[in-house]
Structure 1
Amino acid sequence: MLDARIVITEQEHKEFVRAYFKEGLDGPLSVFPRKEKRKIAILKQLIQRFDPQRKYAEKEVNEVLGNAFHDYVTLRRNLIEYGFLDRYPDGSCYWVKPALYCPTEEGTG
């Protein structure tokens, strides 16, 4: 879950996204950061690649995330752990958690 103590300014978000998505917002992620603020900024950007109005099979989630980064399992796990995505207990269906889907000016969502 997101911690209320972690606040990311719009300027920080832009800097982090620019640094990690070197080919643009729809391009691949160069590396998945370890630092919390950077990780959250990247996850906020990645969630924009999903339609908040639909549900996804695990294979579809993997495909979307795989287009962003080779380790899509880590991305998927982090999106769930930080509360951006939710899923059925058996992993058969995923969806964007509405409270955390906040399209950015630059986002694709």
Structure 2
Amino acid sequence: MPSTRKKRWIILKWLVQKFEFDRLYPEQELNAIIKPIHWDTATLRREMVGYNMLFREHSIYQRVPASDWRIDTN
């Protein structure tokens, strides 16, 4: 994972596109999609939730429209 926010943002933007809109993903399924890309699934999930790319409730995730993402690349 890149250490700079700007580079991390680019990777997260690419990664979140692997998830469909209007679909609920249990944490285990989300991990199965992320793991081939990077071993640290927890950090990537947390980052995507933090940027509001994914919504999480009771370990169920859903993709959020790009217009609602929190863009912070400082």
Q: Percent identity?
A: 34
TM normalised by structure 2 equals 0.84
What is the aligned residue count? 67
**Aligned mates of 2:43, 2:56 — CA distance in 1:** 15
| Off by >3 Å, runs of 4+ in structure 1 | none
Structure with bigger gyration radius: 1
> Which among 44, 47, 59 is matched to residue 78 of structure 1?
47
Aligned Cα root-mean-square deviation (Å) = 1.2
TM normalised by structure 1 equals 0.58
The structure in which a higher percent of residues are strand is: 2
- Between 1 and 2, higher relative CO (CA 8 Å, sep ≥ 6) is seen in 2
Q: Which runs of 5+ in 1 are unaligned?
A: 1-31, 102-109
> Which among 70, 84, 97 is matched to residue 64 of structure 2?
97
Q: Which runs of 5+ in 2 are unaligned?
A: 68-74
